Amino acid sequence: MAESAGPAGNETLLFLTDDQIRKGIEAMFFAYRGFTADPDRILAVQGYGRAHHRAIHFINRSPGTTVNNLLAILGVTKQSLNRVLRTLIDDGLVLSEVGTRDRRERNLYLTEAGAALERELSTAQRDRMRAAFRQAGPDAVAGFRRVLEAMMDGDMRRHYMRFREF
């Protein structure tokens, strides 16, 4: 090809140079800090951490979800999750009900207090995300989603896609 040029040897692939990729890597690093900054501040007041936020988020997303399902989504050990879940249950933010179909399972729900904290956290996080979306524009948002979806591990993509329709 006569128009071949540059380090990548192909102009159509210039967005795949190592430097472009490195910028993407650093963008992920710095942006993730912003992404978690607002919830982190709110959680710190209550003495909670990101692990609590994640549990609250996914229980809110799928009320009645089981411990096992949460373990698969969060990718942590049951001991680790249990510690977090225990404090949330003891503090009255999460309700754990014995399963009806299978009584070994525990169905997890947010209490009113839990839902209130969830709203506080997600409002803060959504405000920043909304501002970023608005600033970048709809086409950028679509691209953002496409790249992130391509970056996920297969297992995680399944958990993500399961609620795509909403």
Partner DNA sequence: TTGGAATGTCAACAAGGCTGACATAAATTG
Partner DNA sequence: CAATTTATGTCAGCCTTGTTGACATTCCAA
Q: Taking CA 163 as the corner, what is the angle to CA 157 and CA 166, rounded to the nearest 5 degrees?
A: 140
Between 8 and 67, CB nearer to DNA: 67
Those residues with Cβ within 8 angstroms of residue 113's Cβ, 6 or more apart along the chain or in another chain: 91, 92, 93
Question: Choosing among its own copies, DNA, none, which partner's interface includes residue 34 (Cβ < 5 to 8 Å by kind)?
Answer: its own copies
Interface with its own copies (CB under 8 A), residue from 5, 27, 98, 113: 27
User: Which residues between 73 and 92 bind its own copies (CB under 8 A)?
Assistant: 75
98 part of the interface to DNA, by CB under 7 A: yes
Q: Contact at 8 Å (CB) between 121 and 39?
A: yes
Using CB atoms within 10 Å of the CB of residue 124, give its burial: 0 to 12 exposed, 13 to 18 middle, 19+ buried.
middle
41 part of the interface to DNA, by CB under 7 A: no
- Judged by the rule CB under 8 A, the positions of this chain that interact with its own copies are 12-13, 15-16, 18-35, 37, 54, 61, 75, 122, 125-126, 128-153, 156-157, 159-160, 163-164, 166
